[in-house]
């Protein structure tokens, strides 16, 4: 309802209204390089075309599209950042081409459809923030048949990792917070005559949720990834439906390891391709990867720590499933349900199947 939307918008858009936050994205050079190449190196696709930039923020992508030769760029932004984008566009001499429109893209009115949609909508582990919903709606409403999406395809990746130090320090913090609780309980009884025992389980659950059953942002080193990353799901931006982008149904993932290794957790990230379509491929295809093989991006990776690490025997594997579901209370956030077991080279289980639900905060 409108009340839910109001509080969603208040929470979600708040950070994007600050230039500080926009600058964090604008100084993410892998992100910038990928979009810049995708647009400028494929300028011939933009020449004379009508373009829509969904969530223009500072206006950067719209400006590049205009410089690449677009005849018209509609740059849509919900927050007051739209005013800054408008001024940036003017000062960079593209007032005649880029039209900044401040509204939710869901409320956009154009006189005709567009040939290309550009957008940087991706969140942690691709889906977080659920801005993809807005993109799909904009595409279904405003892209001509056969039009192009930039990016054209996005893939959720999954890897085994060893970051045992971080895993242990999170466990330590959890233990410390529970020790605090025990002193608190003692003091409250002694000084204030109230027995807090009945709330202990709730507190423990809350803290476990925070330290143990949540994923964490990390900038992993490529040496921390064990074996080959697996594809969880691929979204074709030209065809994916609102239903497709709700999340990921339970999907099998099995990652074999050639050598003995301690697996302390999983990591999720994404790649974004700028390839055009089969009918209209990009002359210079570009891929943006936010994986550990590639150095810093502001997305980093989401790490899901195991409660007990798997000591995998060389030739064995970690096998299981992953599902990614929207949280009921906040559709922009996700839970990641992981089932996993340690399998020996013989095919026998080295561990029972463990099933854990993590929140991605």
Active site residues: 120, 129
Go through 11-27 and write b for each residue having 16 or more CB atoms within 10 A of its CB, e for each that does not: ebeeebbeeeebeebee
Tokens of 356: 């854990």
Which residue of 145, 190, 191, 352 would you call a contact of a copy of itself, by CB under 8 A?
191
Of 196 and 356, which CB lies nearer to a copy of itself in the complex structure?
196
171 binds, among ligand SAH, a copy of itself, none (CB under 5 to 8 A by kind): none
Which long-range contacts link 342-351 to residues 24+ away (Cβ below 8 Å)?
342/263, 342/310, 342/311, 342/312, 342/316, 342/318, 343/316, 343/317, 343/318, 343/319, 344/313, 344/316, 345/313, 345/314, 345/315, 345/316, 350/310, 350/311, 350/312, 350/313, 350/316, 351/310
CA distance 61 to 55: 10
Sign of CA dihedral 106, 111, 115, 118: negative
Q: Does 181 engage in binding with ligand SAH (CB under 6 A)?
A: no
Choice from 39, 66, 77, 226 touching ligand SAH (CB under 6 A): 77
Q: How far apart (Å, rounded) are the C-alpha atoms in residues 18 and 156?
A: 28
Is residue 76 within the footprint of ligand SAH (CB under 6 A)? yes
In terms of CB distance, is 112 or 194 closer to a copy of itself?
Answer: 194
Return the residues of window 86-145 that contact ligand SAH according to CB under 6 A: 104-106, 120, 131, 134
* String marking each residue 6-35 x if it binds a copy of itself according to CB under 8 A: xx-xxx------xxx--x--xx-x--xx--
Alpha helices by DSSP H, 103-222:
132-142, 164-192, 200-211
Residue 9 touches which member of ligand SAH, a copy of itself, none, C-beta under 5-8 Å by kind = a copy of itself
The stretch near a copy of itself (CB under 8 A) out of 57-65, 150-158, 282-290, 334-342 is 57-65
Measured from the CB atom, the residue of 99 and 244 that comes closer to a copy of itself is 99
* Residues counted in the chain: 361
- Per the rule left: phi > 0, alpha: psi between -120 and 50, beta: everything else, 180 is alpha
| Closest distance of CB 55 from ligand SAH, Å | 2
Q: Which is nearer to ligand SAH, 255 or 272 (CB)?
A: 272
58 binds ligand SAH (CB under 6 A): yes
Binding residues for a copy of itself, per CB under 8 A? 2-4, 6-7, 9-11, 18-20, 23, 26-27, 29, 32-33, 36, 58, 60, 63-64, 67, 84, 87-88, 90-92, 181, 184, 187-188, 191-199, 202-203, 206-207, 210
């Amino acid at each position: 309802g409108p009340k839910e939307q109001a509080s969603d918008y208040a929470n979600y858009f708040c950070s994007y209204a600050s230039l500080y936050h926009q600058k964090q994205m604008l100084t993410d050079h892998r992100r910038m390089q990928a979009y810049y190449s995708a647009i400028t190196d494929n300028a011939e696709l933009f020449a004379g075309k009508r373009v829509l930039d969904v969530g223009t923020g500072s206006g950067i992508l719209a400006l590049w599209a205009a410089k690449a030769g677009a005849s018209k760029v509609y740059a849509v932004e919900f927050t007051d950042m739209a005013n800054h984008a408008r001024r940036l566009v003017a000062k960079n001499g593209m007032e005649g081409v880029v039209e900044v429109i401040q509204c939710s893209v869901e409320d956009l009115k154009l006189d005709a459809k567009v040939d290309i949609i550009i957008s940087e909508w991706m969140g942690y582990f691709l889906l977080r923030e659920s801005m993809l919903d807005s993109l799909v709606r904009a595409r279904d409403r405003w892209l001509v048949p056969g039009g192009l999406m930039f990016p054209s395809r996005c893939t959720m990746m999954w890897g085994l990792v060893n970051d045992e130090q971080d895993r242990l320090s999170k466990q330590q913090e959890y233990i410390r917070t529970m020790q605090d609780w025990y002193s608190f309980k003692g003091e409250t009884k002694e000084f204030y005559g109230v027995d807090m025992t009945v709330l202990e389980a709730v507190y423990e659950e809350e803290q476990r949720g925070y330290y143990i059953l949540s994923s964490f942002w990390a900038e992993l080193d490529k040496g921390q990834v064990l074996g080959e990353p697996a594809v969880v799901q691929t979204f074709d931006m030209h065809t994916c439906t609102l239903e497709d982008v709700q999340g990921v149904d339970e999907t099998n993932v099995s990652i074999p390891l050639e050598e003995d290794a301690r697996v302390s957790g999983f990591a999720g990230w994404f790649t974004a391709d700028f390839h055009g379509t089969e009918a209209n491929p990009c002359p210079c295809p570009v891929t943006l990867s936010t994986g550990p093989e590639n150095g810093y991006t502001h997305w980093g990776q989401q790490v899901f720590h195991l409660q007990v690490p798997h000591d995998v025997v060389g030739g064995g594997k970690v096998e299981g499933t992953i599902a990614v579901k929207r949280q009921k209370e906040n559709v922009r956030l996700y839970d990641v349900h992981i089932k996993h077991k340690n399998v020996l080279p013989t095919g026998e289980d080295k561990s029972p199947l463990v099933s854990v639900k993590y929140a991605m905060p």
